[in-house]
Structure 1
């Protein structure tokens, strides 16, 4: 099985063909710290209007890319893997210099199902599917509902708390661990791993700054990097141990499906096992967690929508689709052009990188009327592409839907006056909208 990291090609400094649209020089989507204020909705709107297929330079890495922000263009790139490959160049914006790459994390992030095309992708996806069907999800609902109740019981006497710490990070970890078959005693470890994975970009950026002479090494940064490396190593060691156990003694769980997956009749090589573990730990937690927190912010900012949902529970399923449209927890995915092509009138050369901005697409007025307005009765909310589109559409989207529905069904029943206080902390990360803290207040039980 060919390893993606063996043939990663980073891209080019400038476009091959002339630009149809201008580069908006005051828009920098590579600045991870800008995303601590949330996604740049105003920049997305300008790009859709003035430069929907915009060449975005990367001065520090020398690797530019085409930023795509209109709904139809993002949908088209997602739906055409023959022209826009996940495998040829990887899905991440920039890999950075080798000196700053965590060897295992780099290898795992580039060698996984999400970085494959065609038959190998389909074969691996098929191995996972029994744990993501509607039938399986129905069987999971009662366990998820019970965990929501337990978490809210712990919150009930507090009156104020960090929703991320008490609820949003815990429910997805419970659900994932139930699916994987992780022993209860090991589940707390997942929360620490997720925290450090979300900080990976910041760690790499601080190391790059030191290499470029833009910052001095400090004991605090060195200690944090050491702690980061220790936690990442622990995560992979645990995954390798558990996957080896399931390969030797399969159980009826997702862990066994991953451990015993085959491509062309052969078990996955070790780098792909690491990649499968990283993908399921990160993707299985992060998007749901951030949607749970983002929903609380949306309902607080839009009390009329909260009142409508509380008055009519039948709106909940559609409300969740609208929440995922508005939050768009995965910020982007990258593809590489396999041949000369065209998007929105802009010629794209073979080998050039194309990045799809899901939040921008989900706020496109051409698809969603008055797209910046949160409307839980929106007729086409389910058409959002927060979980992607086409062959790479997120395999866990129904699991996320289940958790959001069960969470807000019980949250509003138990704490009808619950609200975001305005206090919030977002990680410096331009790949996922990572809410690390979100303070809420409510009448305690």
Structure 2
């Protein structure tokens, strides 16, 4: 029988403190990877490179936690993803250092554990299987028609605003937050009138760790709004999922609501976790990839010109952009038994954190890895979507949205560019671009 992960997970309070075996790589971390503010400046790719060179399996202390092994090499991350026998998602959850109980939102914390992404076999695949029909090539191909229409509509609105004001636009507000929301809601079956709520909830989810970290030091009004919106998000999800049990429709919400593991419907806690996972994973990563790609095209104008001259290159560009952006910064695993990674012995119960952005810029796999190359032959080999049983179910949908978006953007606005204006939320789990100024290159 499937128990709630939150009831069984081995968390920091029970985990071994420090590491059991001698460090094979004695170098210290090149940056404090638990510092949320560090990631508000972008991912620390220089620090990742130094760690990959000096200590690819690097012991990292935590101020509030047992510490973890940081993996920055491509082959180490890939091997760990594939070794689900030695490295468990379910024993400790996939997020780094949940912190003490008084420094986290109890409902968000519980729901973040009680989700498919944290399950090992034999429980993971039966639940994943219920999601699969909504991510097949045929389904995504049909979905693309609606996405193409939505992209056109969003660009029409952006052009009208740009001509009216003659000022730069916030791409996140007018495009990057809107397109993934539309696509996700089409898959889920969320009613049109309810869709704007998800954008608001996403804002609070992206700053949740920072909000709980600062707590009473924050503006009381914002903190109150945060707590209220998180509650509203879960109440809405549970209400809709319960309705789908009574009135199923041909949508993903119905599949989740009626999924069974070991012959039983999901618990209320697992419904909360499923709702949180699909809202966050299905929305946030694509949003940040869309914005991050615009930044890359401006930083590498010669690559942008190649796409304008030959739009057929956009398909490969999407893989290269996702490699460079790496919107999910890390996933964590707990050693289910004594294991070894690249010469480093890992004891049972110790935590391992896989840094995808670091792996995706490993020069042993990607030549000149910090260069955006739309013709890179092995761009598709990136690990931004993970690998193995937990590989991202929505990767086809994400790729499709980026391709649809940039085919139209570059065709309509060849002079579009990032203005240099950017805000990144303090979040070390996802590269969360909350504002990105762009100039469409049209005249008022």
TM-score bucket of the superposed structures, by smaller chain: over 0.9
Per-residue deviation, 1:222: 2.5
Partner Cα separation in structure 1 for residue 134 and residue 340 of structure 2: 38
Counterpart among 174, 177, 183 of residue 185 in structure 2 = 177
Mapping 1:18-417, distance limit 5 Å: 18-24=22-28, 26-59=30-63, 61-159=64-162, 160-207=168-215, 217-218=216-217, 220-417=218-415
Q: 1:38-90, CA deviations, whole angstroms, 9 ceiling, x for partnerless residues?
A: 0000000001100000000002x142000001000000000111110000111
Task: Tell me by how many angstroms 1:104 deviates.
Answer: 1.5
Moved over 3 A (4+): none
Q: Shift of the alpha carbon at 1:265?
A: 1.1
**2:324, 2:372 → 1: CA distance?**
7
> Is the CA contact (8 Å cut-off) linking 1:158 and 1:444 kept in structure 2?
no
Instruction: Give the drift of 1:274.
Output: 0.3
CA deviation vs aligned residue, 1:180-200 (integer Å, no higher than 9, x gap): 111111111110000000011
RMSD in angstroms over aligned alpha carbons?
1.0
Residue 103 of structure 1 deviates from its aligned partner by: 1.9
Distance in 1 between residues matched to 2:106 and 2:46, nearest whole Å: 37
SS in 2 for 1:88: coil
Aligned to 2:165: none
Q: Distance in 1 between matches of 2:180 and 2:321?
A: 17
Deviation digits for residues 25-48 of structure 1 (CA, Å, limit 9, x no counterpart): 552000000100000000000011
Cα separation, partners in 2 of 1:25 and 1:179, compared to 1, 3 Å: closer
Q: In 2, Cα distance between the equivalents of 1:257 and 1:179?
A: 11
- Structure 1 residues 313 and 26: CA distance shift in structure 2, 3 A: closer
1:297-353 superposed Cα distances (whole Å, 9 cap, x missing partner): 000000000000111111111100000000000000000011111101001000000
Q: Deviations over 1:149-173 (max 9, x none)?
A: 0000000023320000000000000
- Look up the match of 1:214: none
Determine if contact 2:30/2:48 at 8 Å carries over to the other structure. Answer: no
User: 1:411-436: per-residue Cα shift (whole Å, max 9, x none)?
Assistant: 01111100000000000000000000
Distance 1:26 1:70 in 2: 14
* Partner Cα distance (1:154, 1:129) in 2: 34
**Secondary structure of 1:225 counterpart:** helix
- Are the aligned partners of 2:29 and 2:51 in contact in 1 as well (CA < 8 Å)? no
**Cα distance, 1:7 vs structure 2:** 2.3
